[in-house]
C-alpha cells in the first residue's frame, strides 16, 4: 500500500529559502569558501535565490505577508533582500509622514519652498536635505518647472541644530557645493583602512564653511555626503558627526546627478511651503507701497 505524506507549503518555502540563502551566505560572507565555487556557479546560485525572493514579492500584499510566505522573520527577510539588492520599498507602508508630505508638495509645481523660490544654474539638479524627516530629495529644474526625480533616506548629525563649531556633531544648514569626489580607494588613503567602512563606496566633500558661514563665525570642516558599509536600518537616523549619509546603493545612484562645483546641496531643518498665489499676492503688496524720495543734498 502506498503512503502519501503531506507537508505544508510553508515548509517547502522555508526549506528552499534555507538552501538558497545558505549558498548566498557562503558567497557573501565567506571569502575562503568562494575559492571552492566557480564564478559561473556563484552567479547561478545568486540568480536562483533572487528569482525565488522576487516570486514571493510578486504575490505578497505587504512586507509581513512576504516574510511569512518565505518562512522568515520580517527583519531576516529585509536583510536577505538587502544582500541580494532587491528593492522592497513598494511593499513598505506609505504613511502620511512629514517626509512624504514634503515629497508630495515638491512634486506639485503649485507649491514653492521657502529656500528655493526660483532656480537657474548650470546644473539642473538640486539636492535638498530635510534634517527633520531625514529625507534627501533630488530635484530637477527645467523650463520653469520643478520635478521630484527621487527621494532617499539619509542620516544626519548626532546632535540637532545648525552646526556652529568643530566637533559639535551637528549637520550644517545652508547652501553648499561639492568640491571633491572620493572613491573607496581615496577614502582609505584619507581616513585610513580602519575607518574607511564608515564612508562606504564613495564620498563628496562639501565646501563648509563657506563665506557666509565665516561671516557668522562658524568653524569646522570635513562635512561630506557619503555612503556607509554599516547596516543602515540598524543604526540611528542621527548617527553621524555632521555628515549626510546614504546607503552605498543610493550614493551610487545619486552620484550620476552630481557635478563638482555645479550641483548645489541645500540643507534645512524643516521645509516650509508657500503657493504661487501667495507669492504673487506679496509681490503686489510690496509694489503697492508708496515710494518716498529723499531730496539730494547740495
**217 and 160 in one domain?**
yes
Q: What pLDDT score does 40 carry?
A: 67
What pLDDT, in 10s, does the model give residues 7-24? 344 444 444 444 444 444
**114 and 177 in one domain?**
yes
**267 and 119 in one domain?**
yes
Q: Report the predicted TM-score, pTM, of the whole model to 2 decimal places.
A: 0.65
What pLDDT, in 10s, does the model give residues 198-223? 999 999 999 999 999 999 999 999 99
Beta strands in the chain (DSSP E): 111-113, 125-130, 135-142, 145-153, 156-157, 174-183, 202-206, 224-226, 238-240, 244-245, 264-268, 273-275
Helix axes 9-29, 39-58, angle to 10 degrees: 140
**114 and 230 in one domain?**
yes
Q: Is the pLDDT of residue 25 over 50?
A: no
- The predicted model gives 176-199 an average pLDDT of 96
In a domain, 285, yes or no: no
Name the domain count of the chain. 2
CA 55, 60, 64, 69 dihedral sign is negative
C-alpha cell at 25: 551566505
Q: What pLDDT score does 7 carry?
A: 39
Residue that terminates a domain, selected from 47, 70, 91: 91
In this structure, are residues 99 and 89 in contact, taking their beta carbons and an 8 Å threshold? no
In this structure, are residues 235 and 199 in contact, taking their beta carbons and an 8 Å threshold? no
Give the residue, 231 or 138, on which the prediction is more confident: 138
Residue 223, domain extent: 98-273
Residue that terminates a domain, selected from 63, 91, 119: 91
In a domain, 286, yes or no: no
Give the integer Cα–Cα distance in Å for 82 and 36.
25
- The predicted model gives 124-140 an average pLDDT of 96
Q: Write down the mean pLDDT value for the chain.
A: 82
Q: Is the pLDDT of residue 106 over 60?
A: yes
Based on C-alpha coordinates, what's the Rg of the chain?
A: 25
Q: Is the pLDDT of residue 1 over 70?
A: no
Q: Is the pLDDT of residue 152 over 70?
A: yes
In a domain, 47, yes or no: yes
User: For residue 91, what pLDDT band results from cuts at 50, 70 and 90?
Assistant: low
List all residues 6 or more positions away from 155 whose beta carbon is below 8 Å from its beta carbon. 134, 232, 235, 236, 237, 238, 239, 240, 244, 245, 246
- The rounded Cα 16 to chain-centroid distance in angstroms is 33
Q: How far is CA 234 from CA 13, 21, 131, 173, 222, in A?
A: 27, 21, 19, 26, 24
**211 and 134 in one domain?**
yes
Q: What pLDDT score does 5 carry?
A: 40
Q: Is the pLDDT of residue 285 over 60?
A: yes
In a domain, 287, yes or no: no
- The predicted model gives 126-133 an average pLDDT of 96
Q: What is the largest CA-CA distance in the chain?
A: 122
Amino acid at each position: 500500500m502506498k503512503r502519501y505524506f503531506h507537508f505544508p507549503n510553508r515548509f517547502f518555502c522555508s526549506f528552499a529559502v534555507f538552501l538558497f540563502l545558505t549558498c548566498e551566505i557562503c558567497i557573501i560572507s565567506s571569502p575562503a569558501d568562494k575559492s571552492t565555487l566557480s564564478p559561473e556557479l556563484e552567479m547561478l546560485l545568486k540568480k536562483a535565490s533572487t528569482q525565488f525572493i522576487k516570486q514571493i514579492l510578486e504575490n505578497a500584499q505587504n512586507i509581513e505577508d512576504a516574510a511569512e510566505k518565505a518562512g522568515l522573520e520580517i527583519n531576516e527577510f529585509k536583510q536577505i533582500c538587502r544582500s541580494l539588492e532587491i528593492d522592497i520599498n513598494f511593499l513598505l507602508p506609505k504613511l502620511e509622514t512629514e517626509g512624504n508630505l514634503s515629497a508630495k508638495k515638491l512634486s506639485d509645481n503649485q507649491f514653492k519652498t521657502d529656500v528655493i523660490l526660483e532656480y537657474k544654474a548650470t546644473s539642473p539638479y538640486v539636492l535638498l536635505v530635510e534634517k527633520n524627516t531625514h529625507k534627501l530629495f533630488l530635484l530637477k529644474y527645467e523650463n520653469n518647472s520643478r520635478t521630484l526625480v527621487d527621494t532617499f533616506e539619509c542620516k544626519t548629525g548626532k546632535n540637532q541644530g545648525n552646526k556652529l563649531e568643530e566637533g559639535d556633531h551637528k549637520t550644517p544648514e545652508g547652501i553648499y557645493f561639492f568640491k571633491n569626489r572620493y572613491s573607496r580607494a581615496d577614502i582609505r588613503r584619507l581616513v585610513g583602512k580602519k575607518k574607511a567602512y564608515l564612508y562606504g563606496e564613495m564620498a563628496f566633500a562639501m565646501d563648509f564653511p563657506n563665506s557666509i558661514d565665516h561671516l557668522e563665525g562658524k568653524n569646522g570642516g570635513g562635512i561630506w555626503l557619503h555612503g556607509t558599509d554599516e547596516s543602515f536600518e540598524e543604526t540611528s537616523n542621527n548617527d553621524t558627526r555632521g555628515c549626510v549619509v546614504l546607503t552605498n546603493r543610493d550614493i551610487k545612484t545619486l552620484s550620476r546627478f552630481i557635478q563638482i562645483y555645479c550641483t548645489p546641496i541645500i540643507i534645512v531643518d524643516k521645509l516650509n511651503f508657500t503657493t504661487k498665489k501667495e507669492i504673487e499676492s506679496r509681490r503686489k503688496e510690496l509694489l503697492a507701497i508708496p515710494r518716498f524720495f529723499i531730496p539730494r543734498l547740495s
